[in-house]
Homo-oligomer: A and B are copies of this chain.
């Protein structure tokens, strides 16, 4: 295999993005949302990059979803002015929420309890800003949210609407869909999400309360949804890059994965058939999301520098700065020898977790024909972390 000369100067391990694949992933879901008649509100927690957000937010300034106030602050400063902070709000964070509103960003918060609603309403009254709040609804027992028929839903909605905040709508995230394999299964989770929020919205409206936004989404359900009647917006995040966990549940194919870690072979344990590379868990993350899937991909699948999977190899184990490349137990055939210094690309289990281990993306520019442009220099997109 001949190496891509643009990758030679990069110190390893480092993070690569295949821009053509990323754009294809973005376009596919955008088209699906249009066909379903809903607004796409992409989750920016996967990329945490202003440059990547410019591609994801085809409208430019939003709408967007974030998982931390640090993301909200960075993206608001970059001009994104319609942001949903989709993690349950605690009272200590409301000062930063109000500061973002004063800076011109319409930041919505998420909650599922009377205690939170009272705190948000009190802060909103005090600041004179009707903080928009979404009520989280549970469709699958995954984590948070009220059942659509929980009487607390109306109490929460009434506090928000009447005591100084703004009841912005209802939201559901079918986190359990990550464990379901295949488009039909994802469609069933999508329908459960849809029904939960539509039922909740109906209950609120029957109680005389507003419910303008009806929001659903996760990467599997967003792609699996076949009918979103009654829903206004769709959220998804990891679809921008995809990863082995998503491929394992057939939300994408391995060829859709736009993120990889560039690594160098740093040694061998020939007697054990091991090649040691410098992509340890510090570069890949400790995420072992495929461990519970039908095919356990270890810490990642091994590709050549052109991004083509090398059949039969995977990262079988990882220490902090060492990855052990070995023959996958499902593979019977030969595997190539990988000499000291060989450059490889590792496809990750979980794009959100792997990307978070790095400070920047090295981007292989889109060639406009479905592949990258080998004549164009790499781009560099900074990414950020923190809270």
List A residues at the B interface (Cβ < 8 Å).
8, 11-14, 45, 67-69, 87-93, 96, 111-113, 115-116, 119, 141, 143-144, 175, 264-269, 272, 276, 278, 281-283, 285-288, 319-322, 324, 339-341, 350, 352-353, 356-359, 385-387
Contacts and interface: CB of A to CB of B under 8 A. Distances in A.
Contacts of A112: 267
A116 B128 CA distance: 67
A380 to B, nearest CB: 13
Contacts of A287: 281, 286
Contacts of A282: 67-68, 356, 385
A359 B319 CA distance: 21
Nearest to A45: B320
Contacts of A88: 266-267, 276, 322
Contacts of A268: 113
A385 B386 CA distance: 13
A90 B324 contact: no
A296 B321 CA distance: 25
A322 B87 contact: yes
B276 A340 contact: no
A67 B89 CA distance: 38
16 contacts: A11-B69, A11-B92, A45-B320, A88-B267, A88-B322, A90-B264, A90-B265, A90-B278, A90-B340, A90-B341, A91-B341, A92-B264, A119-B340, A119-B341, A144-B322, A286-B288
Nearest to A289: B286
Given A92-B12, A359-B386, A386-B359, A267 B321 contact: no
Nearest to A339: B115
A74 to B, nearest CB: 14
A42 to B, nearest CB: 15
Contacts of A324: 143
B387 A14 contact: yes
B144 A269 contact: yes
Given A113-B267, A320-B353, 16 more contacts: A8-B92, A11-B93, A12-B92, A14-B387, A45-B321, A87-B321, A88-B266, A89-B266, A90-B264, A91-B340, A92-B341, A112-B267, A143-B324, A144-B267, A356-B357, A357-B385
A321 B68 contact: yes
Nearest to A8: B92
A281 B356 CA distance: 11
A87 B87 CA distance: 39
B340 A143 contact: no
B115 A340 contact: yes
Contacts of A116: 267, 340
B322 A266 contact: no
A265 B350 CA distance: 26
Contacts of A340: 90-91, 113, 115-116, 119
A361 to B, nearest CB: 13
A257 B113 CA distance: 35
A93 to B, nearest CB: 8
Contacts of A264: 90, 92-93
A384 to B, nearest CB: 10
Contacts of A68: 282, 321
